[in-house]
Structure 1
């Protein structure tokens, strides 16, 4: 999850809410909100209700005076806060990304290739600026020997790779890294994620794909 530096919830910057949830990790008493943000009464309740509506916290089942940090709240805890980008910059990043897709598919030494790209999320809205670009990417092994090849490429890498899982999946991870091109604004997701969530998307690759 990437969130704009100036985004707020109930008038509180999300970066402050993130730090609050990080500190409490799993659960916290309702009064902790008032203590943290130095509010009380209706203002405290406004922040509580906003956190619940946003899906960041849920009421504790057995203790209504406490909240649990929800899965979305844990995502917020790991969120990176970056400046938003203009629609024009997003378009330029996307075009450069698609050029990399074609380049990757032409590199037979890579263990995997890109089979499809779908864009979804805020990019499909009419917003003038965006937090990031959500891309559902299909990645497929080129050959049955991809596991062996992945290990070999991991052995040749200048990075220290100790985990066995990281070694056998190195080839796929390498392609994902190449796709991002070091940009913090490109968020790569599994290809079927949009189907599982039932959300709208636009097919970018292959160019003749259909929704």
Structure 2
């Protein structure tokens, strides 16, 4: 508690009895204390990951395919050494019209992992794709898309490849640029969220002293032209 990793949450009676993990504690749990690697090695990890994405999307028996992949974090910022390569992926169902639970159960039976819990069976399709994407790469950290949207951090799309017109219209940010990708300032805001540009740009007026009578609206005399 002194280090800010846990906090006491009041119960229904107002007594602080329940321990809750703070945001700092959650970040510590998600952190992986690995030795930093050179950027050249991180580039090789990205190249291998793109090859695996193509291989995953070519397997029609899987429940999901990888629709989009973004890099963010220290690799995106162009640091010379990175602790891991942060990758956010958006999955899409291959057969949206079919029943998802049946597809997951079919993949469970095909893999022979029938001893899983019922919840893991229902999420087998997405977990299978993410496991294939990681493929034992220690310095590759894959973040689900919903978590990535909540973070709202700047990112750069590396998959799918951009068309020639999109590549020309991109404005790179220097060191954080990845060849053949577009700069993306984080996930799009949710529908209905107020935009900063839509807020009125008003200058606050000086507060009126209630003890001072209001000045009458008199016409301002015009100066004669010189």
Q: 1:119 maps to what in 2?
A: 71
Call closer, same or farther: CA 1:109–1:57 in 2, change over 3 Å.
same
Q: CA deviation at 1:201?
A: 0.4
2:80 equivalent in structure 1? 128
SS at match of 2:74: helix
With 193-202 and 177-186 compared, the bigger mean Cα shift is at 193-202
Which structure features the higher share of helix residues? 1
Q: Give the Cα separation in 2 of the matches to 1:160 and 1:95.
A: 34
Change (3 A) 1:58 1:179: same
Task: Give the counterpart of 2:28 among 67, 76, 92.
Answer: 76
**1:183 aligned to 134, 137, 141, which one?**
137
Q: Which residue in the other structure is 2:107 paired with?
A: 153
Counterpart for residue 97 of structure 1: 49
Structure 1 residue 194: deviation in Å?
3.9
| Structure holding more strand per residue | 1
Deviates more, 1:144-153 or 1:71-80: 71-80
Deviates more, 1:160-169 or 1:170-179: 160-169
TM-score w.r.t. length of structure 1: 0.64
Larger RCO of the pair (alpha carbons < 8 Å, separation 6+): 1
Structure 1 alignment gaps of length 5 or more: 1-26, 31-50
1:13-32 matches, cutoff 5 A = 27=1, 30=2
- What is the TM-score when the length of structure 2 is the normalising length? 0.60
Aligned partner of 1:11 in structure 2 is none
Larger radius of gyration: 2
Asked if structure 2 preserves the Cα contact closer than 8 Å seen for 1:87 and 1:128, the reply is yes
Q: By how many angstroms is 1:157 displaced?
A: 2.2
- Flag the 1:78–1:97 CA change in 2: closer, same or farther, 3 A: closer
Equivalent residue pairs, number: 157
